[in-house]
Amino acid sequence: MSIAISLVSFQLAMAVVDDPPPADPPEVEMAFRGLHGYIGSHAGASPETHRYGAGFYASVWSLIERPIRNFQIGLPSTWLTPDNSDNRTEPLCPPGTIARDNWPERGPTYGSVFQTMEGGLGYWAGNRFHYGPPKFSMNATPNCYTTEVASPGWPFFHSSEPLPDDMLGIAQVSNRLLVPPDGLTFEGDPMGELLGYAWMALPLTDPRDDPQPTGDQSWTLFLDAGNFKGPLAYYLPECWSRISRDFPFDHGRCLDARPASGGMAGSMEINTVPEFRVTDAEGTIFTKIPQLQFPVDEDGRTVLVRDVTMYSKAALYDDVLRWRKGGTAPSGSFKPEGAMTPEVGTGPVTYRQDKKRITGVNRLATPTVFPGNVFGLQWTDPSVITNGIARFPTYFRDEGETRARITRDEVPAEIGLVDKRFPGPRPKPDPYSALPLDGSWASPGPKSGPHVTELADGSTVRYFWYRFIDQPCFQQFDWTTAERTALQRMIVKIHRNWRIDDQYLPGPGDGELARFDPALFVTPPPGLEFGHVPIVVWQGIE
């Protein structure tokens, strides 16, 4: 018996010695092609007469559960270009511009990348100060994507330094709301409330011939939020026309002189999304992206965009022109006789990850136009909806040439993917700074400041009060005293007559309005109540 026991013990010991050590878990890589696609809608044809304004209401919500780094998805946003449909052969982009020199597939006219007004709600990889909810930011590309103009001082998050003086293109109109270079912040944690916004071509200045032909269209941003309504800022007509100074073919073809092209409606651009990627022992690739969340109603619907409207000059342009010429002040409300409602359409989304097509998502969240011309997503699986929030797939698995969505339970535990967390924001990014003031910022310079406020995203903003016509963007022009005085008087009239609690856009057909961060609101100092505007000169973490 003792010999038998010893032999068994020896065999067991040898089995333990011969058993290989546990394998190390596979390496988890991090990449930035975790999701790409367009959750898009498009507006039906509109007559050329109704392309001098465009607007809609877009849902505002926290798309991600917590702030993360290097993440970019736009919430429903706009896309406007000048109508150059009469040109089918000649390039609009001069040699030396980014589009002309690098994107031959956009030829021969380069019309889709010539000039754009875009931006809106969203999260961008270039944002420096993250706080959970999205932000609102203007953005335009006036010269074939060579320059972007996103605030009264800065480009679209690319630089801590302001734009060169001769490339500034946005004039601040509001004397009640700040425009930080990192975007406008919201109050609380919105989850499906609406923000209305519209771009309207207004005749704030006369056409001119020098230094290049320039039209009279000042594309002005009007907002409709729970605590702010009215014009915020506008793109100078010269912002668009200056590309034509040394390229005569573009004379009269820019947004200062042309109506917008048709077909505008809100879309979500999914761009930079981080991913964790791991290959298991059998060679199958598994991936994980951040948890995306969408508000849903009791019918499993996410409303993205509603009340898309196109406007003619009868909506507001004509009234403003009469006002500027000495007529009575209009209310600012967009006239219904100048509005039309185009039919909204949509289609399936081609979601991709690492350039591979993702399967199964369109069936889960189907792009749909609901009754009332409302665009959104119809969710079909109740198991992904909890407490009014639908959760987008997070895990995926290679299946040949495609990548399929899978549940968390289908991810092998041994590959270590489930517990991986995406890195949060950098703790103290470089500030946006125009300090010390010089050039157009210093001459003729501000009337009051600096003043300081702290926003909901944790950043500190410093701003000065400038006379409207003295703000930096106007100092690049050799205007006469009479021209400067006329525009200054017009803005004084706007400040006196158009209040932030008046109604400008037609209200939404349904739903509550989102509210901007109260820290964005300012009150003009005594003596500067009319005709002066707050210009942000610094935003950072102190």
Q: Whose structure tokens read 């992206």?
A: 289
Q: Which of 175, 225, 217, 221 is nearest to 196 (CA)?
A: 225
pLDDT per residue over 350-363, tens digit each? 999 999 999 999 99
pLDDT per residue over 175-200, tens digit each? 999 999 999 999 999 999 999 999 99
Q: Can you give the pLDDT at residue 22?
A: 57
- Mean pLDDT of all residues in 142-168: 96
Q: Which of 238, 243, 246, 249 is nearest to 87 (CA)?
A: 249
- Mean pLDDT of all residues in 71-80: 93
Q: Can you give the pLDDT at residue 19?
A: 54
Confidence tier at 496 by pLDDT (50, 70, 90): very high
Q: Are 133 and 190 in contact (CB under 8 A)?
A: yes
pLDDT per residue over 210-255, tens digit each? 999 999 999 999 999 999 999 999 999 999 999 999 999 999 999 9
Other Cβ atoms within 10 Å of 358 Cβ, number: 22
3-class secondary structure per residue, 126-148: CCCCCCCCCEEEEEEECCCCCCC
Q: How far apart are CA 429 and CA 127, in angstroms?
A: 10
pLDDT exceeds cutoff 90 at 37 = yes
Q: How far apart are CA 326 and CA 527, in angstroms?
A: 25
Range 173-190 burial, b when 16+ CB lie within 10 A, else e: bbbbbbbbbbbbbbbeeb
Backbone phi, psi, residue 352, to 5°:
-135, 150
Q: Can you give the pLDDT at residue 466?
A: 98
- Mean pLDDT of all residues in 278-292: 96
Query: Which residues, at least 6 apart from 205, have a Cβ–Cβ distance to it below 8 Å?
Result: 216, 218, 237, 483, 486, 487
Q: Whose structure tokens read 């999701």?
A: 35
Q: How far apart are CA 462 and CA 536, in angstroms?
A: 6
pLDDT per residue over 410-459, tens digit each? 999 999 999 999 999 988 899 999 999 999 999 999 999 999 999 999 99
Percent of the chain with pLDDT over 90: 91
pLDDT per residue over 3-30, tens digit each? 344 434 434 344 444 555 555 678 899 9
Q: Are 289 and 36 in contact (CB under 8 A)?
A: no
Question: Which residue type occupies 269?
Answer: E
Q: How far apart are CA 289 and CA 135, in angstroms?
A: 21
Q: Can you give the pLDDT at residue 23?
A: 58
Tokens coding 72: 């970019």
pLDDT per residue over 43-63, tens digit each? 988 999 999 999 999 999 999
Q: What is the DSSP string of 148-213?
A: -B-SSS--SSS-SSPPPGGG--EEE--SSB---TT-B-BSS--EEEEEEEEEEEE--S--B-SSS-
Measured over the CA atoms of residue 268, residue 299, residue 509 and residue 507, the dihedral's sign is negative
Question: Which residue type occupies 169?
Answer: G
Q: Which of 345, 348, 61, 114 is nearest to 249 (CA)?
A: 114
Q: Can you give the pLDDT at residue 25?
A: 73
Q: Can you give the pLDDT at residue 21?
A: 56
Percent of the chain with pLDDT over 70: 95
Domain residue ranges of the chain, discontinuous segments joined by +:
37-270+434-540
Q: Can you give the pLDDT at residue 5?
A: 40
Q: Tell me which DSSP letter residue 259 carries.
A: P
pLDDT per residue over 112-152, tens digit each? 999 999 989 999 999 999 999 999 999 999 999 999 999 99
Range 418-444 burial, b when 16+ CB lie within 10 A, else e: eeeebeebeeebebbbbeebeebbeee
Q: Can you give the pLDDT at residue 172?
A: 98
Q: Are 278 and 270 in contact (CB under 8 A)?
A: no
Q: Can you give the pLDDT at residue 510?
A: 95
